[in-house]
A and B are shown apart, each in its own frame.
Chain A
Amino acid sequence: MKVPIFNRKRSRVWWMLPLAVVALFLFGSTVAFSESGGGHGEAVPKGWVKTDTYRVMNFAVLAIGLFLVLKKPVSQALGGRIQGIKEQLDELEEKKKAAEAKLVEYDAKMAALDKEAEAMLAEYVKQGEDAKARILKEAEAAAEKLKEQASKNIEYEFLQAKAELKAEIVEKALAKAEAIIKEKINSEDQDKLVDEYLEKVVA
């Protein structure tokens, strides 16, 4: 940041200012002192005296001299200061605009981040829903397999029980038939059976 009051040119003016003030003060004081008679052994006058007029004139000369001497450097210094402040204000305005632009940029980035976060969240939710649907489908398939297996088990149990029952009844019927045949068979039946057997063997 450039501050004109600290320039070399300006600092030269500021060096000259105190010198000019001191010179004018000394000149004015000398004149006033000579006009007042040196101030040795005289009584202090009352009211407006001639020396007061000289003093006023002295002050006026001093003020005019100071005004003339200081007018240009002071105006330059103040102008420089004003210019510096203007430049500072311009610079601050530019910084403010840059900061506002950055703010707008970051707002846009934040909005984009929010959108991105929402999109990611939606994607994760969708993936979760898909996974859930897939898992539930697999569970239904597994359940269906279980049902099929249970149905097969039931069918197997039924067939096995049926076969066992059939075998048991046949065994019992055969035993009873054997007993009946043993009881009621005669020699004619035996001959007939032998003949039938031989016919089958020959055939």
Chain B
Amino acid sequence: MQAAAEEEKEIIGKINESAQAELKEVKEKIVQEMGTVKATLEEEIDAFADAIGQKILGRVA
């Protein structure tokens, strides 16, 4: 019983550790991808702004 409880703790600890590591890795990946996406979108901000202005003014700004 004690051995099984220790094994249970060990399994949960390993999985918890693995999950934390995976979460950290995914967070880093998200931050990295968000950075790339942000850079791409910032390049298109002018186009967005022109489209907004055109929609508001009803003509090409």
Could you list which residues of chain A lie within 8 angstroms of chain B, going by C-beta atoms?
A: 128, 131-132, 135-136, 138-140, 142-143, 146-147, 149-150, 153-154, 157-158, 161-162, 165, 168-169, 172-174, 176-177, 179-181, 184-185, 189, 192-193
Contact = CB atoms under 8 A, between A and B. Distances in A.
Given A161-B31, A177-B49, A181-B57, A146 B7 contact: no
Contact of A165 (B23, B34, B48): B34
Given A146-B15, A165-B38, A154 B23 contact: yes
Given A135-B1, A181-B61, 18 more contacts: A135-B5, A135-B7, A136-B4, A139-B8, A142-B12, A146-B12, A146-B15, A149-B19, A154-B30, A161-B31, A162-B34, A169-B48, A173-B52, A176-B45, A176-B46, A177-B50, A184-B53, A192-B58
A201 B21 CA distance: 56
A138 B8 contact: yes
A180 B61 CA distance: 7
Interface bin, chain B: 35 or more
Nearest to B31: A161
B4 A135 contact: yes
Contact of B19 (A146, A157, A173, A192): A146
